[in-house]
Structure 1
Amino acid sequence: MPRPSRIVASLVVSLATAGAAFADPPAAPVAAKPKQIVIISFDSARDISQWKRSRALAQRTGAHFTYFLSCVFLLSPETRKEYTAPGKTAGKSNIGFASSKQEVADRLEQINLAASEGHDIGSHGCGHFDGKDWSKADWLREFRAFEHILDNAYAINGIEPEPKGWHDLAHKMVVGFRAPYLSTSPALYEALPAAGLLFDASGVSRGPVQPPTSNGITRFSLPQIPEGPASRPVIAMDYNLYVRHSGGFERPSKAKEFENRTYDAFRNAFDAQYSGKRIPLELGFHFTLMNDGAYWNALERFASEVCVKADVECISFRDYVSRQHPDESASVGG
C-alpha cells in the first residue's frame, strides 16, 4: 500500500499538470508604435530676424525644419536682372528682391548656418509666379535659374569672402520644392525628376496622409485640420489661418484669440495622430508675422511641447525622404 505522502505528492503533480494544460497561452507582444513625425516648413524665408528666431526654436526643441527659399531674395536691386522668369522680362518678381547687398550677405549667412545645423533648404522657385500654365521647359528654366543664383550668389553680388565649399553645398543641399500658391500641374511633375529633385511639398489633403512616391518624387500634402468653434477644416498653414481669422487683414487686438485657436487646432491635429495611426503631420508657415505674430507664437508653444517628447520627431522633408529612400538622398541631420 502506497504511503500517504506519495499519494499527496501524486495529487499535487496531477493538479499542476492539469493547471498547465488549461492555462491561457501567453499574450502576443504588442508592436511598438512608430514615433510621431511632425514636419514644419517655412516658405520664401526672407526676414533675417525670423531665420534667427526659427533656428533658436530648433535649438531649444531639437527640431529640424525645411526652409523653402525664394531665390530673388539672393539678388539685390543692382543684381535683380540676373533673374528672368518664364514669359517675363529680366528683373521681374511678384515678391520683390532683397533690399541691399548686405541683406543678401546676411541671408546667405543664415542659409549656411541652417544647413550646418542639419536643416533642409528647399526651393520655392524664384519670383513667386503662378506656374499652373507653365510647360515642362518653363519649369526647368525656373529650376535652372534657382540653381544658378544660389550657386553663384556671392559672386553675383560681389560678396566676399565666399565660404569654402559653398559651391559643393549649393549643388547638394536642395532636393525638394514647394510651388508658389501651392499651384501645380502635370508639367511640374514631369519637370521635377528631370531637375534632379526628390520631393514636392505642394499638395493639399483632407487630413494627414502618408506621402506616396511616384516617378521618383515623394509627394507631400499640407493637411486640412479642424479649427475654431465649429471645427471647420482649414489648410494647416499660417496664411490660410490668417484669411480664416481676419479675412487677410491685420487685427492685432484679437491676436491672442487667434493664437489660441491656432494652437488648439495644431494640438488637436497632433493628438489625433499621436493616439491613432501616427501619420506624419505637416505644418506650413511664412516669415511674415501675421496678426501680430499670432501664428508664430502658436508654433513656438506647440513645438516646445511636442518636439521634445521621446516618441516624437520634428524633422524636415529631406530627413523623411532620406529615411524612406536611403539610396537616393544624401545623409542629413535629424
Structure 2
Amino acid sequence: MLRSYRVLAISLASLASANAAFADPPRSPTVWPAKQVVLVSFDAAREISQWQRSRALAKRTGAHFTYFLSCVFLVSPETRLHYAGPGKAAGKSNVGFGASKQDVADRLEQVQLAAAEGHDIGSHACGHFDGKDWSKADWLAEFASARRIFENAYAINGIQEPASWRDFARHTVTGFRAPYLATDKALYEALPEAGFEYDASGVSSGPVVPPTLNDITRFALPLIPEGDKAKPVVAMDYNLYVRHSGGTEKPAMADAFTERAYQAFRAAFEAQYNGKRLPLELGFHFTLMNDGAYWNALERFAGEVCVMPQVECISFRDYLARQRPGQAQAAVGG
C-alpha cells in the first residue's frame, strides 16, 4: 500500500541565553515508511490437499490469501446439469466438475474454514471459458450461475446444509478473476451490476497501486524479471511453467525451477521493499506444475517475507478494507 511519508516535527526549547543555546539538542527527522504489502492468490481452488496446504502455510506465516473458486467444483458429475455456460450446453466445463458428492462436501468445508481464518473467497466464474468476446449479458449470466450454485451448493448435491450457509454465501464473494485473464469492455460493465467490488484479471508492466474505475478496484499481476537475462514474465505460476518447460512436465528439473521462481519472487519483493513499496501480487493455481516447483518456491518465499515486521501478506479484500475505513478486515501476522 502506498502512503505518504510523514516527517515528525521537532520542538525546540526556548533560547536559554543570548548565545541561543537549545535546552535539548535537535533531533533528526524520522521517516515512517509504509509497510510492504504482498497479495497472494490462488485460481480454481479445486484440490482439497492444496486447500489444506495453503491454509497451513498461512497459519505458519500469519498471511491471508485470496481463493478464486470455480463454481463447477461445487457440483458433482451427477449434478453437473445445474450449470450451463454462455452459449454452451448444460453440463459442459473446460475444467471438469467436483469428483463426487463427498468431494464437494469437503471443498465446501474448506471454503468455510478458510473464510473463518480470515481468507478471502473470490469468484473464478464457473466453467473456465474464455470470455474475451462475451457480451455484458453473457457475463451477467455467468455471474448469476456462479452465485446461484455457490448459494445452493448443499441443496444441489443433497448435502446437509449448515444453518449459517445462506447468509455466508450471499455476502462472502466480492472479488473476481477472469479465467485465462481474458477480459473485455463488457466485463467491466457487468462487474458493478453483479455486485463485485474488485477485479484481479489485469496484467501490468510492474507493481502498481490498483486504481478504482466505475466502482471496481482493478488489481493486476505484474511483470517481474526472471532468469539469467531478467526477462519479464507475468508473476503467476502458469506463466513460469510455460517459460521454464514449455508447459510440459519436467520433474527432473523441479529443483532448478523452484530456485528460479523463488529468486524471481524475492527479487521483485526486494525491489519494492527497498523502493516505493508498491503492492506486490503473485498468482498461483492449485495444480502442482513441474512437480510442485512453484508452490515450493511460494512456501520458501512466504516463510521468509510474510513474517517480517514491515511486511503484510494480505488478501485483496483486506487491501480494499484499508482503503475504505469502517470495513472489517482480518488481522495479520508479520
TM-score in same-fold range (> 0.5): yes
| Amino acid paired to 2:33 | K
Conserved 8 A contact 2:39-2:282: yes
Query: Which position in structure 1 is the counterpart of 2:61?
Result: 61
Query: Which position in structure 2 is the counterpart of 1:11?
Result: none
The CA RMSD over aligned residues, in Å, is 1.8
Once the 2 structures are TM-superposed, how far is the Cα of residue 19 of structure 1 from its aligned partner? 6.2
- Could you list the per-position Cα deviations for residues 244-298 of structure 1 after superposition, in whole angstroms to 9, with x for gaps in the alignment? 0000011111111100010000001001100111000000000011011110000
Query: Which position in structure 1 is the counterpart of 2:214?
Result: 215
| Amino acid paired to 2:229 | A
Number of aligned positions between the proteins: 317
- Could you list the per-position Cα deviations for residues 285-319 of structure 1 after superposition, in whole angstroms to 9, with x for gaps in the alignment? 00011011110000000000000011110000000
Once the 2 structures are TM-superposed, how far is the Cα of residue 323 of structure 1 from its aligned partner? 1.1
Once the 2 structures are TM-superposed, how far is the Cα of residue 18 of structure 1 from its aligned partner? 3.6
Query: Which position in structure 2 is the counterpart of 1:3?
Result: none
The separation in 2 between residues aligned to 1:325 and 1:254, in whole angstroms, is 45
The separation in 2 between residues aligned to 1:227 and 1:298, in whole angstroms, is 13
Aligned pair 1:281/2:280, yes or no?
yes
Q: Which portions of structure 1, spanning 4 or more consecutive aligned residues, are displaced by more than 2 angstroms?
A: 15-21, 25-31, 329-334
Query: Which position in structure 1 is the counterpart of 2:114?
Result: 114
Conserved 8 A contact 2:317-2:329: no
Query: Which position in structure 2 is the counterpart of 1:5?
Result: none
- In the superposition, the TM-score normalised over structure 1's length comes to 0.92
Conserved 8 A contact 1:69-1:123: yes
The residue correspondences of 1:35-50 to structure 2 (distance < 5 A) are 35-50=35-50
Unaligned 5+ segments in structure 2 are 1-15
| Amino acid paired to 1:76 | S
Query: Which position in structure 2 is the counterpart of 1:81?
Result: 81
Kindly indicate which of the two structures has a greater share of residues assigned to helix.
1
The separation in 2 between residues aligned to 1:30 and 1:252, in whole angstroms, is 50
| Amino acid paired to 1:151 | E
| Amino acid paired to 1:109 | E
The separation in 2 between residues aligned to 1:333 and 1:28, in whole angstroms, is 33
Conserved 8 A contact 1:211-1:219: yes
Unaligned 5+ segments in structure 1 are 1-14
Conserved 8 A contact 1:289-1:295: yes
| Amino acid paired to 2:280 | L
Q: Indicate the percent of aligned positions where both proteins have the same amino acid.
A: 70
- In the superposition, the TM-score normalised over structure 2's length comes to 0.92
The separation in 1 between residues aligned to 2:110 and 2:164, in whole angstroms, is 16
Once the 2 structures are TM-superposed, how far is the Cα of residue 31 of structure 1 from its aligned partner? 2.7
Conserved 8 A contact 1:94-1:128: yes
The separation in 1 between residues aligned to 2:116 and 2:162, in whole angstroms, is 12
Query: Which position in structure 1 is the counterpart of 2:238?
Result: 239
Aligned pair 1:132/2:132, yes or no?
yes
Structure with max Cα Rg: 1
| Amino acid paired to 1:314 | C
Conserved 8 A contact 1:119-1:333: no
Query: Which position in structure 2 is the counterpart of 1:149?
Result: 149
Once the 2 structures are TM-superposed, how far is the Cα of residue 163 of structure 1 from its aligned partner? 1.4
Query: Which position in structure 1 is the counterpart of 2:165?
Result: 166
Query: Which position in structure 1 is the counterpart of 2:8?
Result: none
Aligned pair 1:313/2:284, yes or no?
no
